[in-house]
Structure 1
Amino acid sequence: MKEKFRLDNLLVLNKHAENVNKAKALVMSGKVLVNDMKIDKPGTKFTNDVIIRIIKKSHNWVSRGGIKLEHAINKLNIKIENRICADLGSSTGGFTEVLLSKKARQVYSVDVGKGLLDWRVLTNKKVTLIENTNVRKLALEDISSEISFITCDLSFISLTKGLEKIIVTKNKNISILALIKPQFELSKDMIGKKGVVTNKDYRKTAITKIISWFEINGWIKKDIIASPITGMAGNKEYFIYCVK
């Protein structure tokens, strides 16, 4: 019997990814086909003779997150130029890259993972990477007291938990643009097959929950807009824009 390997290890072995962390991100983003079947679980095992293909991007950003954030910033007419920003849950750097393109003075990219930030973002002198760091345990002042704009794209955790220390910041004249992912804000009975929230009323419940949470903590909701594309599993996502 032929030996089987985890898909993320196979990607590194066959030079489709620089390291295992980037391989995992590639698989979870839905860009990997094995024998023409999309596989989104890095731990799935295959023999080394399978045919692996990487789906080419239809955009110029380092990740799909760039499509989402660029749309939101443009639609809400948010000025980024010369601002010091924090990108929470930066992953490969889609949001960070958009902030740089909008002429941010500096971007602090924070992620619980390690080795995920794309090289072309990582090598930008305006980027400060804070990796292997759980944002849930991080106060904004631990990063910089000069941060005036926050972007946030967290997974597998509610914003109310992931931002529990960030939200009480004493930084003044600050705003946040956070991605609401209903599947991480609702109880299990509200979530359908494959983790997709198909019920429109349930999605509204998730949005209302986050609006209330921000307002209780002294923030003012300026707007809510839908993301121009869904998450990888097909979930509809929404941006909340708040100021303090």
Structure 2
Amino acid sequence: MNRPDGRYLHRTIQSATYENPNQVLALSVLRILGGTRKQILIVTRDPESNFTHPNVISVPTKRVSQGVADELLQSLEIADKKDLSKPDDPKRVVYYEPNKIISLEEASCNPLRQAVEMVMASKLGIADELEKKLISYKAWVTLALNWAARYANGTDARLSSEPIRMTNIAVHVESSGNVFPKNTASYSSMKWIDFEYFKQIAESKDPKIIGLDPAHYSVGGVCIESTRLAMENDSFSK
């Protein structure tokens, strides 16, 4: 297999600035067991298909165009804005009022449904299940986080970070959360964990919490932070 190298990464991030960041979607895929037990789907990025974050524990993500991201946000009502910046580390978050869709009641051309199913089909391996309507869900945008993704690969300083806007989308799976495979080409593992474990792993960055060796795996990324902020803001229960 031909692995990507620094030149590929450079082409991906070279045009991004904090004023004009690259666009990424993050899915916070949720389910409730027994009426009360809240869980979230976490994934481990496969090093064969992810050069920038190999073996990193995260939530599902996908790069999109500026137009796709803007279309998701332009009609939403802003609930709050916060500047969480530190010196030389700009970090801004915009929270949105939930404008929920129900997958089986929305046209397939609905922008939010298209975005959610694009990620679930291409990254989570359930294209057939979506086509056959074996899964239903509610979805809503929770927030958009402007921050810098940090990369460990490459010796070129220009490749060490990338300004991005991470649009976090809550996806509450109603039926059936069991359709997700254990792994895909994008993710070497996919597993459901309780909210409390997610909070612990997002804050401590310790993969041992979910039984993974920190010598080989790590926790991090703007996607995890966006989901942590959404959970902290109670955006998943609104």
After TM superposition, the score normalised by the length of structure 1 is: 0.26
Structure possessing the higher relative contact order (Cα contacts under 8 Å, 6 or more residues apart): 2
After TM superposition, the score normalised by the length of structure 2 is: 0.27
> If you compute each CA radius of gyration, which structure gives the higher value, 1 or 2?
1
Higher helix share: 1
Higher strand share: 2
